[in-house]
């Protein structure tokens, strides 16, 4: 029994040192971490304080440093070197250079010193013009200070360029007006502004700029052409326009006629029947609505030059504006998404922003996505360039809605109007925007 007891207790005796050794082994590891944590926090707080101090210091120094031009920094380095050579090395020539450069710097500082108090008004007559029209604007500067202001220069940023307007010496409450015109050679969104006042010395060592206005956007819309109404692809729609066509079932009453076997008895006019003794049925004016979907390709591979794309955008805008005027359904789709077609201004604004981009998807894939997006279109127009092959058009046609009228509009500047067919799709070749009405008439023939 004693032996058994000793054997049972032996493992307990052997375990106790191991259990006691674990805290002894962990104690040395915990001891060094205790002083490290406060030290890390102190270093982190010190780094944050130094960083914030440097940011505040730079915010105060940056306006002053930004006034000095690269040529001004070179002159400052020359002044420092000349003064060192004149004082330490006792070079009289260096002393003369140092004095001359110092006087020049002081004179430059006088040119840019002073508090500017202007009221600047930038007024553009129309923020939306058509390609070829001139956008006229006005810049009005007023001196709001109680003293005369020295001559300065106003800079107006127009797109990538800068227009400069010199300001004369202005007395208190004096005004100076400048008129300007923005040429609009191509469709674009041109930023106009901001307006900055610039005061600089004649040598260009110091240049002080102040911004007075926010930038504005000038929309140069594509050229469009008014089109006549068309009934191509019109869908039967009770909420659509009333047409001269007669229907046996609609909502706009037209006249009465004699009953013909096969007519719907629900349209029998019983009062007229009782009065005449013959069955009379109602006739209606058919109401229709055209739902137009225009797919405009913006793939660079589809166009031989930018002029083809501009013609495609103009044709798309002309078709869209006609659909809006007729209160028909309109959907304009591009590979990047959908263009707003609920209002003429929003439609033209979105078309103005379109640019050619490298192809990420095929034309057939674009047609497939468009078909899934617009399921109730009665007419689908695909606007492309001259590089699109019949194979590409055939692949796109099989992915478009089968119950819609399909039209491919190839925009090739300089070519004559022609009509062809690829699968179930009519292909119209358009040489210029003025040919669009004629091309549409050929499509109806």
**124-126-130 Cα angle (round to 5):** 130
Q: List the domain boundaries for the chain.
A: 70-112, 118-220, 242-289, 291-444
Q: What is the DSSP string of 252-265?
A: EEEEEEE--TT--G
Report d(CA 313, CA 222) in Å as an integer: 7
Q: Which of 147-161, 204-218, 253-267, 420-434 has the lowest mean pLDDT?
A: 253-267
Residue-wise pLDDT tens digits, 407-433: 999 999 999 888 888 888 999 999 999
Q: Predicted confidence band at 332 (pLDDT cuts at 50, 70, 90)?
A: very high
Query: What is the CATH topology of the domain spanning 291-444?
Result: Rossmann fold (3.40.50)
Topology of 118-220 in CATH? Immunoglobulin-like (2.60.40)
For residue 185, CA distances in Å to 6, 190, 221, 223 come to 107, 11, 11, 11
Query: What CA–CA distances, in Å, run from 13 to 5, 6, 17, 26, 436?
Result: 12, 10, 8, 22, 104
What mean pLDDT is reported for the chain? 81
Which of 10-19, 250-259, 291-300: highest mean pLDDT? 291-300
Comparing CA positions, the residue from 369, 375, 235, 352 lying closest to residue 295 is 369
Burial of 26 (0-12, 13-18, 19+ CB in 10 A): exposed
CB-based burial of residue 414 (10 Å sphere; 0-12 exposed, 13-18 middle, 19+ buried)?
exposed
| Contact call for residues 193 and 157 (beta carbons, < 8 A) | yes
- pTM over 0.75? The answer is no
Check residue 3 and give its pLDDT: 40
Rg (CA), the chain: 40
> Residue 289 is encoded by which pair of tokens?
């609505």
DSSP at 342 = S
Pick the range with the lowest mean pLDDT from 44-58, 390-404, 424-438: 44-58
Structure confidence at residue 27 (pLDDT): 45
Quick one: CA dihedral 59, 60, 66, 72, positive or negative?
A: negative
Q: What is the pLDDT of residues 335-344, one digit of tens each?
A: 988 888 889 9
- Least trusted range by pLDDT, from 110-114, 128-132, 176-180, 433-437: 110-114
Where does residue 15 rank: exposed (0-12), middle (13-18), buried (19+ CB within 10 A)? exposed
Judge contact between 280 and 269, C-beta under 8 A.
yes
Q: Residue 349's pLDDT is what? A: 95
pLDDT value for 37? 63
Among 27-31, 202-206, 262-266, 303-307, top mean pLDDT goes to 303-307
Average pLDDT score over residue span 353-358: 93
**Distance from chain centroid for Cα 140:** 29
CB 195 within 8 A of CB 204: no
DSSP notation for 181-218: EE---S-EEEEEEEEEEEEE-TTSSBEEEEE-S--EEE
């Amino acid at each position: 029994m004693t032996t058994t007891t000793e054997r049972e207790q032996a493992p307990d005796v052997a375990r106790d040192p191991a259990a006691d050794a674990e805290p002894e082994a962990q104690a040395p590891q915990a001891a060094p971490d205790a002083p490290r944590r406060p030290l890390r926090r102190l270093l982190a707080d010190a780094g944050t304080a130094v960083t914030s101090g440097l940011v505040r210091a730079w915010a105060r120094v940056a306006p002053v440093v930004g006034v000095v031009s690269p040529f001004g920094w070179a002159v400052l380095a020359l002044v420092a070197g000349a003064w060192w050579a004149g004082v330490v090395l006792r070079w009289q020539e260096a002393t003369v250079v140092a004095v001359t450069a110092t006087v020049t710097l002081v004179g430059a500082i006088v040119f840019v010193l002073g508090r500017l108090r202007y009221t600047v008004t930038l007024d553009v007559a129309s923020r939306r013009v058509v390609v070829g029209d001139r956008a006229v604007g006005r810049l009005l500067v007023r001196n709001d200070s109680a003293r005369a202001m020295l001559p300065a220069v106003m800079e107006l940023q127009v797109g990538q360029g800068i227009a400069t307007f010199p300001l004369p010496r202005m007395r208190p409450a004096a005004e100076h007006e400048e008129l300007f015109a923005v040429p609009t050679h191509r469709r674009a969104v041109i930023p106009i502004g901001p307006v900055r006042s610039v005061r600089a010395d004649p040598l260009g060592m110091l240049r002080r700029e102040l911004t007075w206005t926010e930038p504005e956007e000038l929309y140069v819309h594509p050229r469009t052409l008014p089109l006549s109404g068309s009934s191509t692809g019109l869908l039967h729609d009770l909420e659509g326009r009333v047409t001269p066509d007669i229907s046996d079932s609609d909502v706009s009453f037209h006249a009465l006629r004699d009953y013909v076997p096969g007519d719907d008895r629900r349209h029998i006019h019983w009062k007229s029947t009782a009065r005449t003794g013959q069955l009379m049925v109602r006739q209606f004016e058919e109401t229709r609505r055209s739902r137009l979907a225009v797919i405009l390709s913006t793939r660079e591979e589809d166009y031989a030059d930018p002029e083809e794309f501009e013609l495609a955008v103009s044709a798309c805008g002309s078709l869209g504006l006609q659909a809006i005027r007729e209160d028909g359904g309109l959907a304009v789709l591009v590979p990047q998404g959908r263009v707003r077609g609920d209002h003429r201004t929003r439609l033209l604004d979105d078309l103005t922003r379109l640019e050619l981009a490298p192809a990420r998807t095929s034309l057939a894939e674009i047609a497939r996505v468009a078909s899934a997006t617009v399921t109730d279109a009665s007419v689908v127009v695909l606007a492309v360039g001259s590089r699109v092959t019949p194979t590409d058009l055939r692949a796109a046609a099989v992915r478009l809605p089968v119950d819609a009228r399909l039209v491919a509009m190839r925009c090739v500047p300089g070519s004559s109007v022609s009509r062809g067919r690829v699968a179930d799709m009519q292909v119209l070749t358009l040489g210029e925007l003025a040919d669009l009405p004629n091309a549409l008439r050929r499509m109806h023939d």
